[in-house]
Amino acid sequence: MADYEMFDLGDVVLQSQQTIRNAKMAYKTYGTLNAAKDNAIVYPTWYSGQHYENEWLISPEMALDPGKYFIIVPNMFGNGLSSSPSNTPEPMNKARFPKVTAYDNVRQQYRLVTEKFGIESLELVTGWSMGALQTYHWGALYPDMVKRILPFQGSAKCSRHNFVFLEGVRSALMADVAFADGFYETPPTKGIRAMARVYAGWGFSQAFYRQKLDLEMGYASLEDFLVGFWEGIFLPRDANNLLAMLWTWQNGDISKNELFKGDFPKALAAIKAKAIVMPASTDLYFPPEDNAIEVSHMPNAELRTIETVWGHFAGGPGTSPADIKVLDAALRELLAS
Amino acid sequence: MADYEMFDLGDVVLQSQQTIRNAKMAYKTYGTLNAAKDNAIVYPTWYSGQHYENEWLISPEMALDPGKYFIIVPNMFGNGLSSSPSNTPEPMNKARFPKVTAYDNVRQQYRLVTEKFGIESLELVTGWSMGALQTYHWGALYPDMVKRILPFQGSAKCSRHNFVFLEGVRSALMADVAFADGFYETPPTKGIRAMARVYAGWGFSQAFYRQKLDLEMGYASLEDFLVGFWEGIFLPRDANNLLAMLWTWQNGDISKNELFKGDFPKALAAIKAKAIVMPASTDLYFPPEDNAIEVSHMPNAELRTIETVWGHFAGGPGTSPADIKVLDAALRELLAS
């Protein structure tokens, strides 16, 4: 029994001039939309994540309180629930699934929010990692609708270094002959395990490993962590889906569209929302420096770096309790302002 | 016509309790050993590097002046010139090549230095990256022989994070079915290209890519750099050789031997040599923090971090002229002291 709902988008023409026919957006909501329809929050998913993997930040004890807010978690295209390589019928399935941008995702999320729920104003958009990328898009594409944004451990554009990191991930997966150019019948597990090991060095910081926090997470050894945590994250996920979202990530840029025509500072300047931008001090692929550049162009934004050794996973799905407190407090402060 | 010489080591029993039969050490010397035999420098090679790739630091204009010093560059086992998977006869060839540690390398380099040249004192040992790992070993294993060491962008032990980074590199290479468990007849180029892309994110810093220094190096685009520079580094090298040296790297630890029995602080404390330890501020796999811990245990060492955006390649083969000046000045200062 699915714990989420589906929004039928019809035929969606993408920035890539490809079409997802009978496109679907899977989503889940938490809490109740009030009569004024002014208590809504959008909280998009991260790379490979599905809505339930966002739930660690939603709780009556936390800023994202479903007793107060109506929280919509839209699943990103390619994540296996919304239209994806793994669930799209021939001929647009598997490696032929269209290229989807974060812009495309947010344009369709807007339709969900407005057409399905009749919401005209958002209290907040927030998200981790690629969820942050979508958060920035919401701010730049719908400046009069989005009151606040809190992107954490993400950026408004995939940096060149981040792109290179992802090239390593992508190449490791595709090196497996079982991948078969995406037309596999059984999963290319060797490639997925390889990409997991590539990812492992990036996801947590040097200091995290130096302090052996992997062992404190309940793993018996580094190898136990690499298999149990990292290979465990990616093995259940479909290889083409992973590559589709990776393309979305690598091509993320709030200015690559008809509104901003590649003018990145202009796109950032268009974000009217009150913003707290929260990088992690030790994030290896979203370093604070990139966010500092972004914030310098945003009219109403504060850079607030989380000092942590957890690297990118400072805002990961519930892994670092201390960092979550800092994040949650910032969300509470922003929502109260 | 080879530009190097070979030292016959006979049968070498390794820490792994395996034997390289008729082991060979390839080396090249620069300059002339004086009559007192007190002007010698040892300068070991880095991961995958061969002696000629160390030559950028040797010049009459530089500290490592062959007009003054007798500079010995021993090739690391596994690098394709010294005994390696690629040049060892059956049955110890290819994937069956014995596991060699940095300790094993330095013990045999000692034989070269003493048996071949009759040298009893070294003015300096220095090296980059895995060359630095060997440098630390020289200091700890031969404290009364080595007057000075200058390890740059390396460490005395492979950190847990560094180990994980290398797991990604290794897994990407081995994901290629053409690797055939090491018994390939033609090179597993897809895997080598994948490992090159994995490496690319680690070798230079986020800031390097942000500042587009790859383009200043003469590449037309990021993709041009990934293929031309990174795939270009690794494609000519043998996959089993790369994995043999990777094992050496992952298992590097100056204390894992009969002298120090795993007591890492004790091994560091044994280094009598006057040392300048030079990490690069933005090195992603040899961060300065690891060297700071090491230096705190070394009786006669200074930590001197090179402030740079070039990451690990601050001390790379001639890539960053400004950083080379800093390194060369430190070498000059140390040699004069």
Measure CA A324 to chain center: 17
* Per-residue model confidence (pLDDT) at position A330: 98
Q: Given an 8 Å threshold on Cβ–Cβ distance, is B226 in contact with A160?
A: no
Q: How confident is the model at residue B30 (pLDDT cuts 50, 70, 90)?
A: very high
Q: Is A129 a catalytic residue?
A: yes
Top-confidence residue, A158 or A316: A158
User: Any catalytic annotation for residue B159?
Assistant: no
The answer, for A86 touching chain B at a CB cutoff of 8 Å, is no
List of chain A residues whose C-beta atoms are within 8 Å of the C-beta of residue B164: 197, 200-201, 209, 222, 226
pLDDT value at residue A1? 65
A329 lies within 8 A of chain B by CB? no
pLDDT of residue B1 exceeding 70, the answer is no
Tell whether B210 is within 8 A of chain A (Cβ): yes
Instruction: Tell me the chain A residues in contact with residue B287 when contact means C-beta distances shorter than 8 Å.
Output: 206
Comparing alpha-carbon positions, the chain A residue that sits nearest to B209 is A161
- Could you tell me which of B256, B249, B248, B297 has the C-alpha nearest to residue B277? B297
Cis? peptide before B91, omega within 30° of 0: yes
Tell me the pLDDT tens digit for each residue of A89-127: 999 999 999 999 999 999 999 999 999 999 999 999 999
Shortest distance between the Cα of B312 and any Cα of chain A, in A, equals 14
| CA distance from start to end of chain A | 39
H/E stretch holding A247 reads: helix A239-250
- Partners of A209 on chain B (C-beta within 8 Å) are 159-161, 164
- Transcribe B195-253 into DSSP letters: HHHHHHHHHS-HHHHHTTHHHHTT-SSHHHHIIIIIIHHHTTS-HHHHHHHHHHHHT-B
B177 CB near a chain A CB, below 8 Å? yes
**Cβ pairs bridging A and B (under 8 Å):** 126
Q: If contacts are CB pairs under 8 Å, which of residues 217-236 in chain B contact chain A?
A: 222, 226
Shortest Cα distance, chain B CAs vs residue A226, angstroms:
8
Sign, Cα dihedral of B126, B130, B134, B140: positive
Among A161, A166, A216, A293, the strongest candidate for a mutation testing the B interface, having the largest count of B CBs within 10 A, is A161
**Which of B82, B84, B155, B312 does the annotation list as catalytic?**
B312
Provide, rounded to the nearest whole percent, the portion of chain B with pLDDT above 90: 98
What confidence tier does A60 reach under pLDDT thresholds 50, 70, 90? very high
Is B160 in Cβ contact with A201 (below 8 Å)? no
Beta carbons of A126 and A153 less than 8 angstroms apart: no
Is residue A312 annotated as a catalytic residue, yes or no?
Answer: yes
Question: Across all residues in chain B, what is the average pLDDT?
Answer: 97
> What mean pLDDT comes out for the span B191-209?
98
Q: Which residues of A touch B177 (CB under 8 A)?
A: 176-178
Cβ contacts (< 8 Å) between A168 and chain B: which residues? 168, 172, 194, 197-201
Tell me whether strands A70-74 and A124-128 are parallel, antiparallel or unpaired.
unpaired
**pLDDT > 80? residue A318:** no
- Are A164 and B190 in contact (CB < 8 Å)? no
Put simply, whether B287 touches A (Cβ < 8 Å) is yes
Annotated catalytic residue: which of A48, A84, A86, A129?
A129
Q: Is A172's Cβ below 8 Å from some Cβ in B?
A: yes
Min distance A78 CA to chain B CA atoms (Å): 23
Over residues A193-225, the pLDDT tens digits come to 999 999 999 999 999 999 999 999 999 999 999
Provide the 8-state DSSP code for A230. I
Contact B323, B280 (CB under 8 A): yes
Across the interface, of A167, A191, A209, the residue whose CB is closest to B226 is: A167
- Distance to chain A for B5, nearest Cα, Å: 37
d(CA A274, CA A281): 22
Residue B139, min C-alpha distance to chain A (Å): 24
CB contact under 8 A, B176 and A177: yes
Looking at A253, A283, A290, A323, which residue is catalytic?
Answer: A283
Q: What is the mean pLDDT of residues B309-317?
A: 93
State residue B274's pLDDT score.
Answer: 98
- Give pLDDT, residue B319: 85
Give percent of chain A above pLDDT 70. Answer: 100
B117 to chain A, any CB pair closer than 8 A? The answer is no
Overall average pLDDT of the B130-156 stretch: 98
Which of A158, A171, A174, A243 is the best residue to mutate to test the B interface, defined by the most B CB atoms within 10 Å of its own CB?
A171
What is the model's pLDDT at position A316?
A: 85
Judge whether residue B318 has pLDDT over 80: no
CA distance B22 to chain A (A): 35
Say if B187 is an interface residue toward chain A (CB within 8 Å): no
Q: What is the pLDDT of residue B259?
A: 98
Residues of A with CB below 8 A from B161's CB? Answer: 201, 204-206, 208-210
What pLDDT score does B315 carry? Answer: 87
Segment A4-50, tens digit of pLDDT: 999 999 999 999 999 999 999 999 999 999 999 999 999 999 999 99
Residue B109: what residue type? Q
Helix residue ranges, H only, A122-210: 130-141, 160-174, 189-203, 206-210
So what's the pLDDT on residue A317?
Answer: 84
Smallest Cα distance from B86 to chain A, Å: 23
Nearest of A323, A295, A293, A284 to residue A307 by alpha carbon: A323
B292 Cβ under 8 Å from any chain A Cβ: no
Sign of CA dihedral A289, A294, A297, A298: negative
Instruction: Quote the pLDDT of residue A246.
Output: 98
Q: What is the mean pLDDT of residues B40-52?
A: 97
Q: How many residues does the structure list for chain A? A: 337
